[in-house]
Structure 1
């Protein structure tokens, strides 16, 4: 989860997190620094949690 979402307790949709992941890759031009890799890992974890939440809600 991103630090901002974690602090506020807000849950972002998978689509919103996915857009942030895409923007990160675009900014990095396909090569992530160590710091960007950490951010990416947090975002992917947040995205997966959001997807699980969305699937449960849909059921």
Structure 2
């Protein structure tokens, strides 16, 4: 999601999305530890999205 799209969401939707992305990051880390994850760039993308969501919620 682009930052412009994130800014259009309300606070409740942002918090829900943040929780979903945190859960996704947790699952990706488990898969990495087990050797099941092929694309480790996915972790960086999720971390970046989490940071963007946190920044936008802080500004609200």
**TM-score relative to the length of structure 1:** 0.60
Q: Report how many residues are paired.
A: 50
> Computing the radius of gyration over CA atoms, which structure comes out larger, 1 or 2?
2
Check whether the contact 1:25–1:32 (CA below 8 A) recurs between aligned residues.
Answer: no
The TM-score with structure 2 as length reference comes to 0.59
Unaligned runs of 5+ in 1: none
User: Per the alignment, do residues 19 and 55 of structure 1 end up closer, same or farther by CA in structure 2, a change over 3 Å counting?
Assistant: same
CA RMSD of aligned residues (A): 2.7
Q: Does 1:47 align with 2:50?
A: yes
